[in-house]
Amino acid sequence: MPAPDHAAVMPPGWPYYRLPSAYRDVLLQLALFRADRDAAARFVPEPLAPGDGTCLLATLDVPFSSSYGPFQESFLAIACQLRADACAFIPLVFLNNPRAICAGREIYGTPKVWADVTLERHRDALLGRTRLDGATLIELETRSATPIPEERLPRLFPAYRLKVIPSADGRGAAVKQLVTAAPSDARLTDPRVGSAEVRFHAAAGLDLRALQPIGAVEGFTYRMSYLEGWGEIVYDYLAEGGGAPRSG
């Protein structure tokens, strides 16, 4: 792979972020649950095929990132398929760090939005909250007490994003791609499983209440250190002749 052109970022000549970025001792809180299939399917774009409504909700506390500094983040992933292969689509990401928002949107097309995200311990539970414009949008509470092998954790990758950059003249999209990225050199510690509660609300014009879990919710926690590098374009909607898959 050729060396990245750091003049191809904004602002030119003064990169607001650099890759790879090293993350250290990130605390992750996950909930695995099933939502109404039709409600989940509304978030999944073609050529991805919606799954059975299985979703993953996460809250992260990042104490150190070499490119962005500390921040907290939450995201939603929805199980789907691409060419009959199992995968996930990430329609919503919330965090409180402008550098990470810029990099996530500009490089990977990750739909990052500024929000007040917190992850705090309350006795034997971890409580993650996401607030938009002062109103609570997401609450995730996990009680993860039983140690498990790493292989028991939910599978997060490949996870796709829809990278869309609108044309400056208002004539649709200038860039429209399906993109994936995954961490490398990951070192994971203390994976645990337990119970979880997920509560979706409506805030700032975004209503997630249709995604309320159906049935039991499984909760997980662990810590991870890793590197974040460049991603991969797997589908280009604007390629000549329409959408076309990209080779790796």
pLDDT digits (tens, 9 = 90+) for 167-224: 999 999 999 999 999 999 999 999 999 999 999 999 999 999 999 999 999 999 999 9
* 114 part of a folded domain: yes
Better pLDDT: 246 or 206: 206
* 83 part of a folded domain: yes
The answer to whether the CB of 22 falls within 8 A of the CB of 65 is yes
CATH of the domain at 33: 2.40.400.10
* 219 part of a folded domain: yes
Please state, in angstroms and rounded to a whole number, the distance separating the CA atoms of residues 124 and 128.
13
Please state, in angstroms and rounded to a whole number, the distance separating the CA atoms of residues 111 and 117.
15
The answer to whether the CB of 194 falls within 8 A of the CB of 216 is no
Segment (H or E) for 192: strand 184-200
* 213 part of a folded domain: yes
Of 134, 118, 141, the residue nearest 195 (C-alpha) = 141
Segment (H or E) for 120: strand 116-122
Query: Maximum Cα–Cα distance for the chain, whole Å?
Result: 57
Task: Using alpha carbons only, give the angle 42, 47, 51 rounded to the nearest 5 degrees.
Answer: 50
pLDDT digits (tens, 9 = 90+) for 119-128: 999 888 999 9
pLDDT digits (tens, 9 = 90+) for 28-85: 999 999 999 999 999 999 999 999 999 999 999 999 999 999 999 999 999 999 998 9
pLDDT band at 1 (very low <50, low <70, confident <90, very high): very low
* 170 part of a folded domain: no
Q: Indicate the number of domains in the chain.
A: 1
Range of the domain at 53: 19-157+184-229
Inform me whether the pLDDT recorded for 8 exceeds 80.
no
* 173 part of a folded domain: no
* 246 part of a folded domain: no
Q: What is the pLDDT of residue 243?
A: 57
* 220 part of a folded domain: yes
